[in-house]
Amino acid sequence: MADRVEAYIDQNWVRFVEELKEFMRFPSVSAQRAHDKDTRACAEWVVAQLKGLGFDAGLVDVGGQPIVRALRKGKSKKRVMIYGHYDVQPEDPVTEWQTPPFEPTVRDGTLYGRGSTDDKGQVWTHVKAVEAILKTEGELPCEVLFLLEGEEESGGDALPRYVAQAKADIKPDAIVISDSTMYDANTPAITYGLRGIVALEFILRGPAADVHSGAFGGGIANPAMVAAQILAQCVSPDGKILVPGFYDDVVPLQDWERESFRKLNFNDEAMAKELNIPRVHGEAGYSTLERLWARPTFEVNGIFGGYQGQRSKTIIPASATVKITCRLVGNQDPARVRKVVVDHIRNVCPNTVRLEINDFGASPPVLFDVNDPTIRAAQDAMRKGFGHDTTFIRCGGSIPVVSTFAEYLGCPVILMGFGLDSDGPHGPNEHFSLDSFVKGTKSAAHLLRMI
């Protein structure tokens, strides 16, 4: 088959990219209520596309953003579920984009625009793989169920709730997800571990309004300064998290993993150069890949309060806000980590300000067995699609629903990502290589045949 299906992809990829651009023009920003209509319109567009390929497709509404559900029978009764997300992260800062975020543009063999790599472009590889098989072979080798969510990027729980309630109806034999990365452009990879996440914010409130820093400075606590003092008690300069109990359940890196990470020859200087930072930084005693893939973190995503304008303004801010995410690794329990972090912030926060803490969702880490035969089949499929040896990696990011799949669906989960960390997901000028798009589509088609 390989040749006919691959030939179809080679002959049609230019059209595939035009369709993907249409997909990307929907500003399906799930975090923002102002975009709810666009998000739904995007989901409806995907449903129409899948109906066009003979799928029994529709939207599932369980509250929150709609879920795209589409099923088509195949030669065998085996069911492969393809998961992805059609929502995207907010586009800001919009002035940093060379071309507008929702006007997808190809430059030098690369597609630019919000969602190109995370995750519309990767979702589209699977839709087009299915098309390529159907148009060349007439039927699918197995049943294919698409389950595409619209709130992966905003910590929503619609899909986890749906999976818990509809597990008997979903029952896949394997789950395929392309929402992660390769090791580098020439090293395709299957991801066998994702970090978990705990997201929260704390707000420190001082005076009812900003007040004169001469009139009151020295006599009252400054919420922005208190925020800095609290944070300094959360992480040490050498990258150790100081929250008591934070590391309690962390599974130490196995020798074989340290060895396999080491063999990837990660280049710290190249990463520093790419990011335009003076040097890499992280927890003492670990390599960069170990820090990124197998160690937990405590990060500030945003910190604000007080005057943000030009030059100087002499005030003490009324409040300061700090947004935090912790990345988790096995065997950390998100509820427990949240508790130790919240307790610590409460303990170290002085009584000179009022403290408010808000939760923004959590999910546990996942780790899969690289010796699973289905995961090995995916490795072969990707090797064929990309024409390169395919390795195993872990990823620093999180895909919250994956732990729900692992818990309720009890089948192998294949994380076959086609993106790169350097694609700029979540940032300005997000992009996806068209070469990876085409090879990813071929890999996805091979996989359906090999499962």
Binding residues for ligand BES, rule: CB under 6 A, are 118-119, 152-153, 155, 179-181, 197, 395-400
Q: What is the SS3 assignment for 30? A: coil
Q: Which residue is nearest to ligand BES (CB)?
A: 397
Q: Closest distance between Zn ion and the C-beta of residue 425, in Å?
A: 5
Maximum Cα interatomic distance, the chain, rounded to a whole number of Å: 79
User: Residue 113 binds what, of ligand BES, Zn ion, none (CB under 5 to 8 Å, by partner type)?
Assistant: none
8 Å CB contact between 397 and 117: no
Q: Could you give the CA distance from residue 140 to residue 5 in angstroms, rounded to a whole number?
A: 12
User: Residue 147 binds what, of ligand BES, Zn ion, none (CB under 5 to 8 Å, by partner type)?
Assistant: none
Q: Closest distance between ligand BES and the C-beta of residue 83, in Å?
A: 11
Pick the stretch among 116-124, 308-316, 340-348, 357-365 that binds Zn ion (CB under 5 A). Answer: 116-124
* 118 touching Zn ion, by CB under 5 A: yes
- Which residue shows structure tokens 């507008």? 100
Q: Closest distance between ligand BES and the C-beta of residue 257, in Å?
A: 17
Q: Closest distance between ligand BES and the C-beta of residue 301, in Å?
A: 9
Which tokens belong to 135? 């148009």
Closest CA to 419 of 120, 109, 39: 120
Give the total of residues touching Zn ion (CB under 5 A).
1
Q: How many CB atoms lie within 10 A of CB 350?
A: 11
Backbone angles phi, psi at 289, to 5 degrees: -65, -40
- Nearest to ligand BES of 178, 319 (CB atom): 178
Catalytic residues: 87, 152
Which tokens belong to 48? 């129409």
8 Å CB contact between 324 and 301: yes
- Nearest to ligand BES of 118, 143 (CB atom): 118
* 430 touching Zn ion, by CB under 5 A: no
* 151 touching Zn ion, by CB under 5 A: no
Residue 247: exposed, middle, or buried by beta-carbon count in 10 A (0-12, 13-18, 19+)?
middle
* 421 touching Zn ion, by CB under 5 A: no
Pick the stretch among 15-23, 115-123, 125-133, 181-189 that binds Zn ion (CB under 5 A). Answer: 115-123
Residue 199: exposed, middle, or buried by beta-carbon count in 10 A (0-12, 13-18, 19+)?
buried
- Nearest to ligand BES of 121, 396 (CB atom): 396
User: Residue 400 binds what, of Zn ion, ligand BES, none (CB under 5 to 8 Å, by partner type)?
Assistant: ligand BES
- Which residue shows structure tokens 């169920």? 145
Which stretches of the chain bind Zn ion, using CB under 5 A? 118
